Chain A
């Protein structure tokens, strides 16, 4: 019998060494989902038959003495915007349920299953990924396993609930403005948003194409790296996916931070954070001997421009659905998308011009540092249904603003790993972003691993 909260590495090792079969592991996973999902709202689709076929194949391969791939028998889930052959891709919506089932898996699922992992289902999300709460008008909210009266964060809320509750060791999410990093922060997980263009998005329902990325949520840095390595590689099905290299990072994440120059983001990335969030970040900075502070110039404008680009790209993407089925959207999503479809072109194109300026300024910051640390969210998980929170003395809406600290970074496509901050017993989770220059995922993972080790030791 498998233990709850095992990592992907531990499960793969147990299956490879014959301590458990892939089928037994799967049975335990499906039983746990059946028991706990009604309380958590994590899964919207469970792909049990497909998973059983794959588990049997892995057990047969082991019985025949064949070498198993690195994730053999490891169950995983995906946000329900990923295409799963034979399943209709909801993307959190009511509207997409009228579509035919997907004819082919998303590239990311194909690659993970080629590495031996077993898809067990698709997970809840904010409708069309347009929100940071994990609440869904059609499927109900995903609930935070640390306190089920609270939000998971979103939009990859279901995947976060599935991983944080121990139902699966990892899940795939997508991140346009913070949709992996926000739920990772609020649920106490490791979340990885690689460089824009690094991983294939083929077969993932889009939101804002010039910002969309995919990546894993997991309970260890090693699992993030294992999954990332399985996902890497050029893909002709995604024209943006054209990475400069695809060297495996898993063998390197444990090599320490060496000569990496670390700094803390100040100014925008500290403004409005609660005293407890600042204290947790300061404690981390002290433990890592970080004394340098850096400013990402005009980050508030970057966040504003990302907000407008997202609205415009999302509104344009959904224009036909807004014309034909507007009443079937979640009202809040619909009204935001309608406004996005009406935005003046000058605001959008100027936002793109500003993106280039901001990118070049941040690249200059990276001439003097390798990795920058910043809070992932300004607050811990709000209560489900909570509409506003206090930020810098003002009450602001939760749904568009939980990603205040994540949005400027996705705006210029930077790779970011979210890591749980050390918390006292009873305190809700909170995460820190480990930010690197484009294509330098290794540096972010190595620092994340160092923090993971220190958290475990203290």
Chain B
């Protein structure tokens, strides 16, 4: 089944108010284009399999820690 391409303009319309941001109509196309760019970047790593123990979300990132 082909992958569905998100409608980023619709996403902006929906998520802007959710996070309390008023995004003017004339800004939306550019915001949507940056979301599309971010999506293309996220697609490069978002589905990589990681061990469940791999979680940095609460850590202070510190380079040089032992692997």
B-contacting residues of A (Cβ < 8 Å)?
195-197, 210, 239-240, 300-301, 304-305, 307-308, 311, 319, 322-323, 326, 331-332, 334-336, 338-344, 346-347, 349-357, 359-360, 363-364, 400, 412-414, 437-439
Q: How far is the CA of A373 from the CA of B32 in the complex (A)?
A: 37
B44-A339 in contact (CB<8A): no
Q: How far is the CA of A411 from the CA of B32 in the complex (A)?
A: 25
Closest to B18 in A: A342
A308-B38, A319-B19, A342-B19 known; A413+B31 contact, CB < 8 A: no
* Chain A residues whose C-beta falls within 8 Å of the C-beta of B45 in the assembled complex: 301, 304-305, 350-351, 354
A304-B56 in contact (CB<8A): no
Q: How far is the CA of A360 from the CA of B64 in the complex (A)?
A: 9
B10-50 interface with A by 8 A CB criterion: 11-12, 15-16, 19-24, 27, 30-32, 34-35, 37-38, 40-42, 44-46, 48, 50
Q: How far is the CA of A414 from the CA of B67 in the complex (A)?
A: 15
Closest to A339 in B: B34
Q: How far is the CA of A354 from the CA of B56 in the complex (A)?
A: 9
Q: How far is the CA of A454 from the CA of B50 in the complex (A)?
A: 45
In the A-B complex, list the 5 residue pairs whose CB atoms are closest, starting with the nearest. A438-B64, A413-B63, A339-B34, A304-B41, A360-B67
Closest to B26 in A: A331
- Report A195 CB to chain B, min CB distance, Å: 6
Closest to A345 in B: B57
B31-A338 in contact (CB<8A): yes
- Report A235 CB to chain B, min CB distance, Å: 15
* Chain A residues whose C-beta falls within 8 Å of the C-beta of B23 in the assembled complex: 326, 338
B45-67 interface with A by 8 A CB criterion: 45-46, 48, 50, 54-57, 60-65, 67
B19-A347 in contact (CB<8A): no
A323-B64 in contact (CB<8A): no
User: A301, A339, A341, A350 — which one has the most chain B CB atoms within 10 A of its CB?
Assistant: A339
B48-A354 in contact (CB<8A): yes
A349-B57, A354-B48, A356-B54 known; A336+B63 contact, CB < 8 A: no
* Chain A residues whose C-beta falls within 8 Å of the C-beta of B12 in the assembled complex: 342
* Chain B residues whose C-beta falls within 8 Å of the C-beta of A195 in the assembled complex: 63-64
Q: How far is the CA of A314 from the CA of B36 in the complex (A)?
A: 17
A301-B44 in contact (CB<8A): yes
* Chain B residues whose C-beta falls within 8 Å of the C-beta of A357 in the assembled complex: 48, 50, 54
A342-B63 in contact (CB<8A): no
A-B contact pairs, 19 of them (CB 8 A): A239-B60, A304-B41, A308-B38, A308-B42, A326-B24, A331-B30, A335-B30, A336-B34, A338-B21, A339-B35, A347-B42, A353-B55, A354-B45, A356-B54, A357-B48, A363-B64, A400-B37, A413-B62, A439-B64
A347-B42, A353-B50 known; A339+B56 contact, CB < 8 A: no
Size bracket of the B interface: 35 or more
Contact of A347 among B21, B46, B60 (CB under 8 A): B46
* Chain A residues whose C-beta falls within 8 Å of the C-beta of B57 in the assembled complex: 349, 352
Closest to A358 in B: B45
Closest to B29 in A: A335
Contact of B56 among A334, A342, A352, A437 (CB under 8 A): A352
A343-B38 in contact (CB<8A): yes
Q: How far is the CA of A170 from the CA of B60 in the complex (A)?
A: 31
- Report A75 CB to chain B, min CB distance, Å: 33
A342-B12, A342-B19, A357-B54 known; A437+B27 contact, CB < 8 A: no
A304-B42, A323-B21, A342-B35 known; A240+B54 contact, CB < 8 A: no
* Chain B residues whose C-beta falls within 8 Å of the C-beta of A322 in the assembled complex: 21
* Chain A residues whose C-beta falls within 8 Å of the C-beta of B50 in the assembled complex: 350, 353-354, 357
Q: How far is the CA of A288 from the CA of B65 in the complex (A)?
A: 31
A339-B38 in contact (CB<8A): yes
* Chain B residues whose C-beta falls within 8 Å of the C-beta of A323 in the assembled complex: 20-22
A304-B44 in contact (CB<8A): yes
A414-B21 in contact (CB<8A): no
* Chain B residues whose C-beta falls within 8 Å of the C-beta of A363 in the assembled complex: 64, 67
User: A239, A322, A342, A412 — which one has the most chain B CB atoms within 10 A of its CB?
Assistant: A342
